[in-house]
Every structure is written in structure tokens, then in C-alpha cells.
Amino acid sequence: MNCSVQLSDLINNEIVFKGISTISSLKNNGLCIEMKRADSSYCWKCFEKGLIIESVSDYKVVMTLKENATTKSHIETEFGTIYLQYHTSLYKMNRNCIEVEYELVQEDESQKFHFLLEIYKEEEHAIH
């Protein structure tokens, strides 16, 4: 099913993606929300207890995020794979939006991220 969506970066106050996405069902009551542009793509695999984000541009990033948990993720580049750790402080999902806030943890430094994915036209697939 195609839906109109907007993916916003709430920390930098910018729209990352706005347009038509494809939403499909996954096992375990999950949803796959695919957003594509000419130079990049995003795939959010949303489940009740967690989220898998895949983004592809010049490199591929795969993140598994669970609220109040530290998880491992990775970036695949032409030079090899870089492994990272993220701590997710917020993961909320309802019928029309998904919100996630997480922190990239590297040694003594960290970087925060906060995204909101809004679904404007949704009919068949309900997010619980």
C-alpha cells in the first residue's frame, strides 16, 4: 500500500523525507515502511517492542533499536564494516506516527538523534 509520509529530524529541525512510501506487513505484526529517493533509501521495520532502520546512500547503515536498551548496529562502507552501539531512550508507535530517540555511544563521546515518522494516508495497515 502506498502512503504519504514525512520523516523529520527533530534535533536539527529538518525534513529528511517527504513523499510517497510503500507500507507492507511483516511477521509478528510488524510493518515495513520504505521511503526512496534518487540518491538514497530508508526502510523502517516497526514492531511493538523495537525498530530496525536500514538506510542506503553512499554506505549502508543497519540499526536495531529497542526502548531503554543498548543495541549494536553497523555501517557498511567500501572500506569495510564499522560496528556501533546505540542507546534508545524513546520508542513510541501509534496509528499515524512513530517516534524514536536514541544516542550513538562511542567511548567518551555521544551524539543524540530524534526522529518522527508521520503517516498521512493510511487505510489497511494499523500500527498498534
CATH code: domain of residue 87:
2.40.128.20
**Beta strand extents in 10-79 (DSSP E only):** 14-26, 30-36, 41-47, 50-56, 60-65, 69-77
Taking 50 as the threshold, does the pLDDT of residue 75 lie above it?
yes
Show the CA angle centred on residue 96, arms to residues 105 and 20, nearest 5°.
90
Beta carbons of 57 and 43 less than 8 angstroms apart: no
Would 21 be classed as within a structural domain?
Answer: yes
Would 126 be classed as within a structural domain?
Answer: no
Give the range of the structural domain holding residue 85, as residue numbers without chain letter: 2-119
As a whole number of angstroms, the distance between CA 77 and CA 58 comes to 8
Would 51 be classed as within a structural domain?
Answer: yes
pLDDT tens profile 62-73: 999 999 999 999
pLDDT tens profile 90-115: 999 988 899 999 999 888 888 999 99
Amino acid 41: pLDDT: 94
What pTM, to 2 d.p., does this model score?
A: 0.86
Would 80 be classed as within a structural domain?
Answer: yes
Beta carbons of 122 and 23 less than 8 angstroms apart: yes
Amino acid 14: pLDDT: 97
Q: How many domains does the chain have?
A: 1
Would 8 be classed as within a structural domain?
Answer: yes
Mean of the pLDDT values across residues 12-41?
Answer: 92
As a whole number of angstroms, the distance between CA 80 and CA 96 comes to 37
Cell numbers at 50, concatenated? 523495537
Would 124 be classed as within a structural domain?
Answer: no
> Over pLDDT 70: what percentage of the chain?
94
With 0-12 / 13-18 / 19 or more C-beta atoms within 10 angstroms meaning exposed / middle / buried, residue 87 is middle
Beta carbons of 120 and 4 less than 8 angstroms apart: yes
Would 26 be classed as within a structural domain?
Answer: yes
Would 34 be classed as within a structural domain?
Answer: yes
- Coil vs helix vs strand at 86: strand
More confident residue, 128 or 32: 32
